[in-house]
Amino acid sequence: MLTKIRAAAAKESGFTLVELLVVIAILGVLAGVVVFSVAGIQDTSQSSACKTEASTVRTAEEAYYVKNKLYTNNAGLVTAKLLGTTPTLVTTAGTGAPVGTTYSIAWAGATCTGVTPAITP
């Protein structure tokens, strides 16, 4: 019995070079797909961050207006404790005649370029 097992083991060989190269090629293709997928996820997350911050600032502006009957800028929203920190992706300003009757939200830098443009109510 042991002789038959040793004889069978002697006849078996490992993987061939071609088999190994095929596996490596498949792994390379899968790695390439993953790399490009992750790059797209980062772009989507940045876009979502821009939209979310603009929405948060818009809500804070409306809350400020309800209390004070005029709109303000980022610093005014932080002072009124409607925002915890100064937004980094968007800027806002109370505008109109008289000042503060409307407001506008604009992107603070190139980070949000390509996302929906400035929001004005």
Each of the 121 residues of the chain gets a pLDDT tens digit; together they read 778 777 766 677 777 889 899 999 999 999 988 887 776 666 677 778 888 888 888 899 889 889 988 888 888 888 989 998 888 888 888 776 677 788 888 887 777 766 665 555 5
Q: How many CB atoms lie within 10 A of CB 51?
A: 16
SS3 85: coil
Distance (Å, whole) CA 90 – CA 86:
9
What is the b/e burial string over 81-108, where b = at least 16 CB atoms within 10 angstroms of the residue's CB? ebbeeebebbbbbbeeeeebebbbbebb
Report field, pTM of the whole predicted structure over 0.85: no
Please enumerate in sequence order all residues whose Cβ is within 8 A of that of 82, keeping only pairs 6 or more positions apart, or say none: 60, 63, 64
Report whether the peptide linkage leading into residue 98 is cis, meaning its omega lies within 30 degrees of zero: yes
